[in-house]
């Protein structure tokens, strides 16, 4: 009788273990979302607006769901790394938005991305002069590293991931020159 009871318990434990293994195999087979920030495909920075005290630059960065399931970008923002100790002549503000649904209030509206699809993120950088003239205050502006931080969720628990992009001195200079040239060319100076 005791042997039969032990065999039944062992059989139940075996069934539970097999069920657990089957569950993990199915979960593995179905996959999950896997977002990849395509930093190498970032668009060049361009000046969207400029006046005497402020310059607004934008660029787009694609993000791709390389996984096998839908994924949701629950939250996303861009964080500039420009401490005042490094450069105190310009105030740097950044906003990240979905190009398909732009928002200027720095609120990220959750976005579902199907597997294999790519969406464009728009980075907006507002540089405000502290001394008066934005062009003078940007003369010695250093490279600006920025992290794009995004919270994603799919079949597994949510996670934060990030990728770093840069606004380099020569890119800033080129964007400002192209804007000023376009203004002069179109007679809006």
State the pLDDT at residue 29.
64
How many CB atoms are closer than 10 A to CB 9? 10
pLDDT in tens, the chain (189 residues): 778 888 888 888 988 888 888 777 766 666 788 999 999 999 999 999 999 999 999 999 999 999 999 999 999 999 999 877 788 899 999 999 999 999 999 899 999 999 999 999 999 999 999 988 999 999 999 999 999 999 999 888 899 999 999 999 999 999 999 887 665 455 554
State the pLDDT at residue 145.
96
State the pLDDT at residue 8.
86
Rounded CA separation 143/172 (Å): 9
CA dist 174 → 86, 88, 124, 159, 166 (Å)? 22, 22, 17, 36, 14
Q: Name beta bridge partners: 61.
A: 121
Secondary structure E strands in the chain? 35-37, 46-50, 54-65, 71-80, 90-98, 111-113, 118-129, 144-153, 159-167
State the pLDDT at residue 183.
56
State the pLDDT at residue 173.
93
State the pLDDT at residue 83.
78
CA dist 22 → 9, 19, 135 (Å)? 20, 5, 64
């Amino acid at each position: 009788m005791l042997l039969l009871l032990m065999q039944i318990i062992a059989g139940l434990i075996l069934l539970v273990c097999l069920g657990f293994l089957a569950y993990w195999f199915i979960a593995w087979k179905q996959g999950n979302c896997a977002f990849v920030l395509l930093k190498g495909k970032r668009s060049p920075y361009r000046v969207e607006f400029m006046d005497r005290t402020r310059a607004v630059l934008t660029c787009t960065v694609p993000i791709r769901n390389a996984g096998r399931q839908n994924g949701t970008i629950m939250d996303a923002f861009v964080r500039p790394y420009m401490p005042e100790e490094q450069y105190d002549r310009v105030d740097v503000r950044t906003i990240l938005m979905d190009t398909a649904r732009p928002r200027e209030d720095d609120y990220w509206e959750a976005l579902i991305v199907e597997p294999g699809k790519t969406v464009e993120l728009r980075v907006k950088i507002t540089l405000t002069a502290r001394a008066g003239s934005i062009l003078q205050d940007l003369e010695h502006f250093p490279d600006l590293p920025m992290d794009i931080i995004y919270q994603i969720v799919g079949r597994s628990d949510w996670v934060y991931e990030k990728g770093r992009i840069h606004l380099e001195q020569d890119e800033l200079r080129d964007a400002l020159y192209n804007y000023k040239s376009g203004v002069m060319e179109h007679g809006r100076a």
